[in-house]
Amino acid sequence: MPADSRYELLEEVGRGGFATVYKARDTRLNREVALKVLHEGWSDDPDFVRRFQQEAETAANFNHPNIVGVYDVGELGRRPFIAMEYVPGADLESWLARQDGPLTTAAALPILEQIAAALDYAHERRVVHRDVTPGNILVRETAVGPQVKLTDFGLVKALEGNRVITTVNQTLGTPEYMAPEQADPNRRADVGAHTDRYALGIVAYRMLAGRVPFPGGTISTLNAHANLDVPSPREFNPAVPAPVEAVLRRMLAKAPADRYATAAAFVAALRAAAA
């Protein structure tokens, strides 16, 4: 890949369906950054490139300790990129895989609290993430416990409208974490802050039960989110307290109005249920 005069690519650190992430050095400011570079094929539509950059600029205006900072946008060999804060560590899915089974509510709460703070901050500014998953949550171990940062604000919104979605593999978002209004093509106009809160509920379920309620990433997963009640987390981890399950079920209600009104309210309810 052609190098940008400002950024020296050091190593590839991640690859997804839409982009590759590199650890890079900003030669102008002499600091490490994460460079998210879109794959070929996503950069041929000038309207999409403009939309992608606008969404990155929106995220660049955020200033929150639990949101990955966005520094710059540009192109590498005609492929749009976003230069972001480099966060050493792992994504939450990898971090959870290293734990000894599901987390207790007490262990999950500090992580969920930080994600909730990031989401409420964005929602107060009328920005919806649309893909809140463990893969977009970065975890760095510190002396006072895990520090969490949410990344990829705006990427799904920018990708929407660029292509006709015809298969589950092209679905914009992650089926296992999709709210009913996202999973049902007839309801996608209803996507909003409540959609992110549902996804946060699934993240909490994953942490406490040790798995997502509807695994597989298939059309049946989308149908399940749209139409089925989630199975009890106690089915997979009997140690989940019944009051905690009740809080999860409210956050995972099919009707957005039945969910908690803020992410912080959800975490507060979890804390009270676990007391």
**Cα angle, residue 211 at apex, residues 205 and 216 outer, rounded to 5°:** 115
Q: Rounded distance, CA 167 to CA 125, Å?
A: 32
Closest CA to 226 of 171, 150, 267: 171
Q: Please state, in angstroms and as integers, the Cα–Cα distance from residue 192 to each residue in 60, 98, 210, 266, following that order.
A: 20, 33, 27, 17
Are the C-beta atoms of 42 and 162 separated by less than 8 Å? yes
Give 187-191 contacts, CB < 8 A, sequence gap 24+: 187/226, 190/256, 191/128, 191/130
Active site includes 26?
Answer: no
**What 3 state SS string does 46-110 have?**
HHHHHHHHHHHHHHHCCCCCCECCEEEEEEECCEEEEEEECCCCEEHHHHHHCCCCCCCHHHHHH
Phi-psi region for residue 152, left (φ > 0), alpha (ψ -120 to 50) or beta? left
Give the active site residue among 26, 72, 91, 131.
131
Burial of 250 (0-12, 13-18, 19+ CB in 10 A): middle
Residue 66, token pair as written in the block: 């639990």
Q: Rounded distance, CA 3 to CA 223, Å?
A: 43
**Would you please indicate which residues are annotated as catalytic (active-site) residues?**
131
